[in-house]
Amino acid sequence: MADSVGRLDMLVVGAGFAGIYQLYKAREMGLSVRVLEAGDGVGGTWFWNRYPGARCDVESLDYSYSFSRELEEEWVWSERYAPQAEILRYIEHVVDRFGLRDGIQLNARVASAVFDDERLLWTVRTEAGDVLECTYLVMATGGLSIPQRPQLPGLESFQGRWYHSAQWPKEGVDFTGQRVALIGTGSSGVQMVPVIAEQAAQLTVFQRTANFSVPAHNVPFTETALAAAKARYPDRRAMGREAITGQFLNANTKTAAEMTEEEQRAELEYRWRGAGGGFRMLRTFADQMSNLDTNRMVADYARNRIRGVVKDPVKAELLCPKDDLPFGGKRLCVDSHYYETFNREHVDIVDAAAHPIIEATARGVRTDEREHEVDAIVFATGFDAMSGALKAIDIRGARGARLSDKWAHGPTSYLGLGIAGFPNMFVVAGPGSPSVLSNMVHSIETHVDWIARLLQQARAAGVRRIEATQEAEDGWVRRCAEEADKTLYPRANSWYMGANIAGKPRVFMAFVAGVPLYRRIIEDVAARNYQGFEMA
Ligand code: NA7
């Protein structure tokens, strides 16, 4: 394909859940469209994150497309939380079932996208040298697609093998008999620990910050259970749409103060036992993410649970998140036997805050205290989240303005969908929308459907240029910040805040006030003839 110049109505960057549904939708609208995907397969997050134990921590019945009733009916989820390989199979199935494969160009990492304001076209270049032009550019690049690894001096001299959770070898890794260092205890690390511990001769977990993790209570689906759940699917989806995170959640509508101590306790126990999935623990009380005392009650409960599982009191205290981290302030982890694993003789935890890792050596990793000899190092150190993938592409809008300059102080957008100065470009489930605080598949469908309606109406009206106004964007940025400030989220040094990347601006990047309110806002904007967008 190199050197070919093709002109299309729409180019979509990324073939994960978002890009695939965008392709389906654009074809339904009769647009000429192509998806450019960096990987050599489809699936996005589920293509790259193949680490041991990788699975979705939103229940699969919710974390799946809802646009096709037939698809919902025919796909058989094997477990409550599907493992990575199964989700990838599902995505592949969707691509084949809806005949989308010929619309996806693999091994096509987009290097730049430049808008020509005279011809009203985007010119998109891939790293391999392909050049394509399109009227509409849809960025479906994902919130967690630029892996981060600490710059560890000496890594090149390490005699063993090292891996990053999001760049896992396709053929897998056999840790049998090995001594393994695992760095990072976010969702990826927490999922990996029990699985690697099964194989490794010795597992040393380097923890810089203890985060909260709740038990997944994952179970295989029996045929009857799945059939019963599917019989109620329309209701489940409807409840998901009205739930703050866009998934069937069973949120408690009462604040802690509206309940007796006994009721509070019962609510906590009920949710911890797994009634309703991990994230329902985030909605034990209506004011849990805005009232510090309520949040502390949940945090204390979770800490006591950890102490109840981990037998060694020193390990247990280390694993208990500190009081300055609100429960859910960093993304909640959902685990299968994470804490129990630390009761195994060959699994240890190192306090990497007290004793930071300073270098890799030929034989392992060295903290400021001592050298740990290992055969393999696993980095579960996260991503340049939310804005990273967009900033990694040289995007230049009207008058040559660069997105990376515009976003130097943090990502800004109107509704998370459009960016002033970047006409005819749309972002799916990116910063400024509920995105990572929600069931991503639900938020993706909401965005893609909204963009489709906008384009249908614009095309019918002969509109050729759609751009968010600066005023509308400024208003939205203020609104997002105001909503975040009403909550406890900004108190945590989370990747939601950009705090995991040195030098990254500290801005709360998601719209925190929930999926139903967000949807009402964007539907209202549409009903007002796309107020805040300049259409010409
Ligand atoms: P996360 O959640 O960003 O976790 C990364 C972890 O790596 C976190 O515990 C970090 O500690 C730790 N980290 C990062 N750099 C270092 C260094 N230099 N030394 C020690 N520890 C370090 O990434 P995940 O991949 O687990 O999860 C990302 C999302 O994927 C997740 O939230 C779900 O949405 C799915 P820190 O907390 O910064 O002190």
SS3 at position 25: helix
Predicted confidence at residue 455, as pLDDT, reads 98
Cβ contacts of 100 within 8 Å, gap of 6 or more: 20, 23, 24, 27, 94
What are the CA-CA distances from residue 151 to residues 6, 106, 157, 194 (Å)?
A: 40, 30, 13, 26
495 lines ligand 1 (CB under 6 A): yes
Choose the residue to mutate in 58, 152, 187, 206 for probing ligand 1, maximizing ligand atoms within 8 Å of C-beta: 187
Predicted confidence at residue 276, as pLDDT, reads 61
382 lines ligand 1 (CB under 6 A): yes
SS3 at position 18: helix
SS3 at position 38: coil
Phi and psi at 215, nearest 5°, equal: -70, 135
Helix (H) or strand (E) holding 213: strand 213-215
Q: How crowded is residue 161: how many other Cβ atoms within 10 Å of its Cβ?
A: 13
209 lines ligand 1 (CB under 6 A): yes
In sign, the C-alpha dihedral spanning 203, 209, 215, 218 is: negative
Q: How far is the CA of 211 from the centre of ligand 1 (A)?
A: 10
Residues 21 and 526: their CA atoms lie apart, in Å, by 21
Residues 250 and 187: their CA atoms lie apart, in Å, by 23
Q: How far is the CA of 262 from the centre of ligand 1 (A)?
A: 36
Tell me how many helices (H) and strands (E) the chain has: 16, 20
Q: How far is the CA of 184 from the centre of ligand 1 (A)?
A: 5
Helical segments of 69-214, H only: 69-74, 84-97, 187-199
Give, using CA atoms, the residue closest to atom 2 of ligand 1: 186
Predicted confidence at residue 268, as pLDDT, reads 96
SS3 at position 322: coil
Give, using CA atoms, the residue closest to atom 28 of ligand 1: 382
120 and 465 Cβ atoms separated by less than 8 Å? yes
Strands (E), 391-461: 394-396, 425-427
Predicted confidence at residue 277, as pLDDT, reads 67
Residues 226 and 76: their CA atoms lie apart, in Å, by 8
64 lines ligand 1 (CB under 6 A): no
185 lines ligand 1 (CB under 6 A): yes
At 29, list the tokens: 């609208």
Predicted confidence at residue 3, as pLDDT, reads 39
194 lines ligand 1 (CB under 6 A): no
Give, using CA atoms, the residue closest to atom 16 of ligand 1: 381
Q: How crowded is residue 527: how many other Cβ atoms within 10 Å of its Cβ?
A: 9
Choose the residue to mutate in 48, 500, 501 for probing ligand 1, maximizing ligand atoms within 8 Å of C-beta: 500
What are the CA-CA distances from residue 310 to residues 41, 189, 284, 337 (Å)?
A: 40, 17, 24, 11
Q: How far is the CA of 515 from the centre of ligand 1 (A)?
A: 25
Q: How far is the CA of 382 from the centre of ligand 1 (A)?
A: 4
At residue 12, what is the residue type?
Answer: V
Q: Which residue has the tokens 């509109």?
A: 463
Q: What is the pTM of this model?
A: 0.97
165 lines ligand 1 (CB under 6 A): yes
Sequential pLDDT tens for the chain (536 residues): 333 557 999 999 999 999 999 999 999 999 999 999 999 999 999 999 999 999 999 999 999 999 999 999 999 999 999 999 999 999 999 999 999 999 999 999 999 999 999 999 999 999 999 999 999 999 999 999 999 999 999 999 999 999 999 999 999 999 999 999 999 999 999 999 999 999 999 999 999 999 999 999 999 999 999 999 999 999 999 999 999 999 887 889 999 999 999 999 999 999 998 766 668 889 999 999 999 999 999 999 999 999 999 999 999 999 999 999 999 999 999 999 999 999 999 999 999 999 999 999 999 999 999 999 999 999 999 999 999 999 999 999 999 999 999 999 999 999 999 999 999 999 999 999 999 999 999 999 999 999 999 999 999 999 999 999 999 999 999 999 999 999 999 999 999 999 999 999 999 999 999 999 999 999 999 999 999 999 99
SS3 at position 37: coil
Give, using CA atoms, the residue closest to atom 20 of ligand 1: 208
149 lines ligand 1 (CB under 6 A): no
276 lines ligand 1 (CB under 6 A): no
